[in-house]
Amino acid sequence: MSEIYQITIYKQIIDPEKVAAYAALAGPAITAGGGTFVARGEPVATKEHGEVTRTVIIKWPDLETAYAAFASPGYVEALNKLDGGAIRDIRYVPAC
């Protein structure tokens, strides 16, 4: 499979402190695993039914690399810090 983008939309942030603890560990784990951050933060504008929610876009060489990084010890530790602190929608979309 070719290059893909991971799009994560934070549908609800329940505990900002848990999200911050997660982000501190997740960023380094993602880059160490081969991911490249393309965008992160709240949208500067929306159209149609767009929601003003935190969004993160990460470029991966392929889906297998993304899944391996997700299962890495560093990322698992980050997920443990998140511990229900947010409800997220994560999807993988092929590059054009």
Q: What is the pLDDT of residue 1?
A: 63
pLDDT tens-digit series, residues 14-57: 999 999 999 999 999 999 999 999 999 999 999 999 999 999 99
- pLDDT surpasses 80 at 6: yes
CATH number at residue 28: 3.30.70.100
Q: What is the pLDDT of residue 35?
A: 98
pTM: predicted TM-score of the whole model, two decimal places: 0.92
Q: What backbone torsions phi and psi does residue 85 show, to the nearest 5 degrees?
A: -75, -10
3-state DSSP assignment of residue 18? helix
Q: What is the pLDDT of residue 84?
A: 96
The domain containing residue 22 runs over which residues? 4-94
Number of structural domains in the chain: 1
Mean of the per-residue pLDDT values of the chain: 97
CA atoms within 13 A of residue 57's CA, in its CB half-sphere: 9
For residues 11 and 44, the answer to whether their CB atoms sit within 8 Å is no
